Structure 1
């Protein structure tokens, strides 16, 4: 990194790049509280306009490769293909990308608020918001579905580098080496013991990885903090939702986006559990401060809006809803691993989350009823009838004389 930014030099940097000038009036810069270990986030006020300046704190790419480049590439996709113009309304406008210094500048959406903060502060879950999110996400997937020209465009890599294939997010816990004993506390080692004990869990994740089918543009980090809603959402008919932080976007599996979002909603419920060693899991789930029943209407509105706007996904993958549920379980496991990595802990709440994740992954058909309150057929059938989608034929109950695929445990 050649030029580390701060609130003291960012205005000069923007002036050098002709992104603002002293003629704009009042110039002010401050670091946002959302800055983390990975990114520095600076808010710059230049007269009547506001810019968000993001910079990687380290040029080492230990996560998704080409992160800022991916976000810039998505912006370039929208510019290159005007037919995708409607998608530009769901993402902030990128003003500048400096690959050498790992800097990205975009419009700051001052009239929008993070959805996660909205839910925490208001403690309400309007179905109108969930419906808007479902339709917005479906619009992204539908507009790019199986379009080779978009896929080829998104396969580009930064100059001098190569992108051999698209990232498959269906990854379980990696191989455990002796070094882990010096990296995580003793209590956190229980997670790895429990994970390895559930062979069906590893098998389900291996199936997800094997059947991963990238077919459209996906956001790949669709948590509630990366969704913005307009502060006057209840007074507007459109532009309710914006999706931010496209650093992980690529050609991917739409079920992963929806599963990630579902897991973020479930996190509200799971993080409100009353946890005690004397309370069984089932009782704790029902004693949650934010019961699942409170969130269920939004979950159902989300999935119905998505399927109504993108019904052909059921023709492409008749098991789409099941895969969404499984990806939600996988996302919860990834959240547990992130907690262990950042906070060095694994408590009873995480054990409960692991149990829920296991159920989502290994018994997804039954989990549909638990999560949405109705069966898979009750969700899918109205969509199939309305759009006259072909119903999957029932497979004959014959004994297989072969294995469909070979799978190694934990792969």
Structure 2
């Protein structure tokens, strides 16, 4: 069965997640939000709706990513020691292994952190502090014994592909833009050296999200209705037993990437001049960055020296994650864009001088 906007409600009825009376009485709206996966949102007014995800490419790697997400949700639900994980994942309602469909709860009035920032045209420190604390609690949580649990088999304990992005074959079938990206990575020895070092330093310590960015962080009004927001982290397809610094780096690079991707690039204009066109200078985001980092460090109870070490590793992993962001930004483009080139340039600068990036760029 291939889901579509016209049959997704019938699927929920067949699975017992909706009743015919609910369909008649509720104000149901179906929104198609298909991207890499076939995604649908079923809205139910003030009631909890549904987010339905079905893979579009039925190959083993894609099937495995959906299984990893479903496995995370099952562990969160069934393993008491993973309470910090349970507090931040969406409510899982159904995993259809045969049809490769995952259904989770959709919170009323929820929006991604990207949508939140764009709507407010600002970067609230309370929201940054919220996700810093959540991530810190997740990374503080020791891994419980998972031997014998089938869900644990989906964790490959492998470094992310971005740390091998300078090697031929990482991108699979190369289009013109990704070929240019690979060429740039191979032309600069500093890229190759630092990526190899970080891959060798990869630590399988905690359960990590693996693809942390603003689009995967969701905020919604608290039940207390006092104007405060709560948050969840969604899309755990790349979850693994891995290095917490990768998750932290993902959040840090999200600020830098937003700053760069909103610049207005013009031919023959140097990057230093283009910076002035950014509607949100990076310095304006620094209070939010500091709030995120402070909350994370506080939850982990890191001493000063340990916090500094973690920060340097996170900044470097964030720079490596920017390569992935550049690839995602022009995956379907015929040519590499000026913004993607800027992402690579800033990534290289950070890898060469992470301490300077932490202080001058991130304000930490």
The alignment's C-alpha RMSD in Å is 3.0
Alignment-derived partner of residue 272 in structure 1? 262
Please give the secondary structure, in 2, of the residue aligned with 1:54.
strand
Q: What is the alpha-carbon distance in structure 1 between the residues aligned to residue 230 and residue 163 of structure 2?
A: 33
**Alignment-derived partner of residue 5 in structure 2:** 7
- Tell me the TM-score normalised to structure 1 length: 0.79
| Cα offsets for 1:200-247 (capped at 9, x unmatched) | 111101011000001111111111011111247997587621111112
| CA spacing shift, 1:353–1:233, aligned 2, 3 Å | farther
Task: Provide the residue aligned with 1:214 in structure 2.
Answer: 204
Q: Deviations over 1:24-72 (max 9, x none)?
A: 3436765534211323324264994422221112222445x62222222
Shift of 1:255: 0.4
| Aligned-pair CA distance for 1:288 | 2.0
Contact 1:20 1:46 in 2 (8 A): no
Query: How many Å apart are 1:332 and its aligned residue?
Result: 1.1
Distance 1:206 1:151 in 2: 31
Q: How does 1:21-36 map to 2 (within 5 A)?
A: 21-24=19-22, 25-26=24-25, 31-36=30-35
Does 1:366 pair with 2:360?
no
Q: Give the whole-Å Cα distance in 2 for the aligned partners of 1:154 and 1:313.
A: 37
Aligned counterpart for 1:113 among listed residues 111, 117, 122: 111
Matched position secondary structure for 1:205: helix
- 1:90 aligned counterpart, secondary structure: coil
Structure 2 partner of 1:284: 274
1:173 is displaced (CA, Å) by 2.2
Asked if 1:172 is matched to 2:170, the reply is no
Q: How does 1:28-177 map to 2 (within 5 A)?
A: 31-43=30-42, 45=44, 48-62=47-61, 66-143=64-141, 145=142, 147-150=143-146, 153=149, 156-157=152-153, 165-169=156-160, 170-176=162-168
| Range that drifts further, 305-314 or 88-97 | 305-314
Answer whether contact 2:69 2:239 (CA < 8 A) is retained.
Answer: yes
Is the Cα–Cα contact under 8 Å of residues 11 and 27 in structure 1 kept in the other structure? no
| C-alpha displacement of 1:298 | 0.7
Instruction: Tell me how far apart the structure 2 counterparts of residues 213 and 154 of structure 1 sit (CA, whole Å).
Output: 23
Match of 2:175 in 1: 184
Contact 1:155 1:166 in 2 (8 A): no
Work out the CA distance in 2 between the residues paired with 1:349 and 1:263.
14
1:98-123 deviation per Cα after TM superposition (whole angstroms, max 9, x unaligned): 01100111111123211101111221
Long gaps (5+) in structure 2: none
Segments of structure 1 that go 5 or more residues without pairing to the other structure are 375-411
> How many residues matched?
361
* 1:259/1:326 contact within 8 Å kept: yes
The answer to whether the 8 Å contact 2:185/2:191 transfers is yes
Structure 1 residues 10, 191: closer, same or farther in 2, change over 3 A?
Answer: closer
Distance 1:30 1:166, change over 3 A: farther
What is the deviation of 1:364?
Answer: 1.0
TM-score computed with the length of structure 2 as normaliser: 0.88
Tell me how far apart the structure 1 counterparts of residues 128 and 87 of structure 2 sit (CA, whole Å): 17
> Does the CA contact (< 8 Å) of 1:274 and 1:289 recur in 2?
no
Alpha-carbon shift at residue 17 of structure 1 (Å): 2.0
From the superposition, tell whether residues 31 and 18 of structure 1 become closer, same or farther in structure 2 (CA, over 3 Å): closer
Q: Distance in 2 between matches of 1:72 and 1:244?
A: 11
| Distance (Å, rounded) in 2 between the aligned partners of 1:34 and 1:28 | 19
Change (3 A) 1:373 1:315: closer
Distance 1:347 1:20 in 2: 45
Question: If you compute each CA radius of gyration, which structure gives the higher value, 1 or 2?
Answer: 1
- For residue 293 of structure 1, the aligned residue among 283, 287, 292 is 283
1:200 and 2:196 matched:
no
